[in-house]
Amino acid sequence: MSNRPVIRRPAAAVSAALLVVVALVAGCANDRNGKSDSAGDSGPVAKVTLAPAADAKNVNPTTPVSVTVADGTIDQIALTNASGKQVAGELAPDRRSYKTTEALGYDGSYTWSGTATGVDRKPVPIGGTFGTLAPKNAVPATINVADNQEVGIAAPIILQFKASVPNKAAVENAINVTTNPPTEGAWAWLPDDNGGSRLHWRPKDYWVPGTTVQVTAKLYGLDLGAGNYGYTDLTSEFRIGRSQIVKANAPSHRMQVVRDGQTVFDFAVSYGEGNEPRNVTRSGVHVVTEKYEDFMMSNPPFYTNVRERWAVRISNNGEFIHANPESLSAQGASNVTNGCINLSPGDAQAYFPTALYGDPVEVTGTSIQMSAADGDLYDWTIDWNTWKGLSALDDSSAPGISAAPVAPGPPR
């Protein structure tokens, strides 16, 4: 599913070293009568402090950047990049300090320009150049839930990175999840089997309907390890919708849809035949991830490019809830499918518009339990203590999770 998280695209940055530039004045001057006045009589000169220091190298682009002036005020000031573009900033009301208000860019050169005037009423130049660090790679990441999206009560929060992340604890410390009402939950690192590291957050139990969720990931400028740094900050604000749970008991040959505690549908269905592992509908908590009014299913060598209607994906091993007229005579009486949950066209069409990303589908009564081998969203098959042990911030010795390859095509 597509993601549209709010992404801050940084412009520039800094590190914290200090340089003091002091303008010196002559010790004395003669008046017309041959008398001398000390320089101190006219007041002290402006003392300028730059952070980071002039000529600083490898400055992290998120480090605060500032200029402060003692014994004087700032007249003019600007920080520009190598292309001459000015970095946004703000001058304090007393004109004694200035700070940038946007992050800097990676591998950039930045130059101060301007003047300050001391109590002695003499100008002092503001100048200096520094450079920001150049990461081996700036690694993008995505959030699975978009802004303002409404999701089901089993929806996890997933951050998918485009490369492996060695500094996992640093990443967890950089992310904040705020919920209303407060919700107990935890992060877990799952195997890097999607092209990079992935971090999942889920509540201990299903979400309370109506919960609002805000995710803030301060990843830009973050050292991910192995010379890699975060590409952007990510945010997402979304809402948990109504409670809808699909109860799917294979021996009963039926499927109930329970919304806010009330059974709204009770369908005759057919599950996987179960005569061999490949066509066993997996038991456990599945999660709705996608849905298609029309979907071309393939499961070579058994079938290829078969058009199915009202298809709701519930795992990445190819399990769907979908219409199948060919199994109509078995629905409600026996299990004959290749692993999917088959409904009549009318029942499938009635269920289809009610399904949300994140709805739980609780399958019971089959011979094989859902696991990491069945795709990348098996969060609810892991018990809570084990889940917490998969956090980089948890000192427990809970075992890790390994994933077997996912079957290439969806059962029908």
Give 41's pLDDT tier (boundaries 50, 70, 90).
Answer: low
Quote the pLDDT of residue 304: 77
- Report whether 235 contacts 216 (CB < 8 A): yes
| 250 SS3 class | helix
Model confidence, pTM: 0.83
Is the pLDDT at 337 greater than 90, yes or no? yes
Is the pLDDT at 11 greater than 90, yes or no? no
- CA 90, 6, 243, 331: dihedral to nearest 10 degrees? 180
What are 220-257's pLDDT values in tens digits?
Answer: 999 999 999 999 999 999 999 999 999 999 999 999 99
- Report whether 150 contacts 240 (CB < 8 A): yes
Quote the pLDDT of residue 69: 98
- Report whether 54 contacts 65 (CB < 8 A): no
What are 256-313's pLDDT values in tens digits?
Answer: 999 999 999 999 999 999 999 999 999 999 999 999 999 988 777 777 778 899 999 9
What are 62-97's pLDDT values in tens digits?
Answer: 999 999 999 999 999 999 999 999 999 999 999 999
Residue 358 DSSP class: T
Other C-beta atoms lying within 10 Å of the C-beta of residue 320: 27
The tally of CA atoms less than 13 A away on the side-chain side of residue 163 is: 17
- 93: tokens are 């009301």
The pair phi, psi for residue 170, each rounded to 5°, is -60, -40
Backbone torsion region of residue 216, taken as left when φ is above 0, otherwise alpha when ψ lies between -120 and 50, otherwise beta: beta
Q: What mean pLDDT is reported for the chain?
A: 88
Quote the pLDDT of residue 184: 97
Is the pLDDT at 162 greater than 50, yes or no? yes
Catalytic residues: 322, 340
User: What is the Cα–Cα distance from 18 to 50, expressed in whole angstroms?
Assistant: 5
How far from 206 is each of 84, 143, 263, 360, 384, CA to CA, in Å? 52, 20, 18, 9, 12
Burial class of residue 220 in the structure, from the number of CB atoms within 10 Å of its CB (0-12 exposed, 13-18 middle, 19+ buried): buried
Quote the pLDDT of residue 394: 67
What are 171-194's pLDDT values in tens digits?
Answer: 999 999 999 999 999 999 999 988
User: What is the Cα–Cα distance from 78 to 85, expressed in whole angstroms?
Assistant: 10
User: What is the Cα–Cα distance from 265 to 254, expressed in whole angstroms?
Assistant: 10
Other C-beta atoms lying within 10 Å of the C-beta of residue 166: 15
What b/e readout covers 108-138, taking b as 16+ CB neighbours within 10 angstroms? bebebebbbbbebebbbebebebbbbebeeb
SS3 labels along 252-312: HCEEEEEECCEEEEEEECECECCCCHHHCCCEEEEECCEEEEEEEEEECCCEEEEEEEEEE
- Report whether 52 contacts 29 (CB < 8 A): no
Task: Tell how strand 150-151 and strand 233-240 pair up.
Answer: parallel
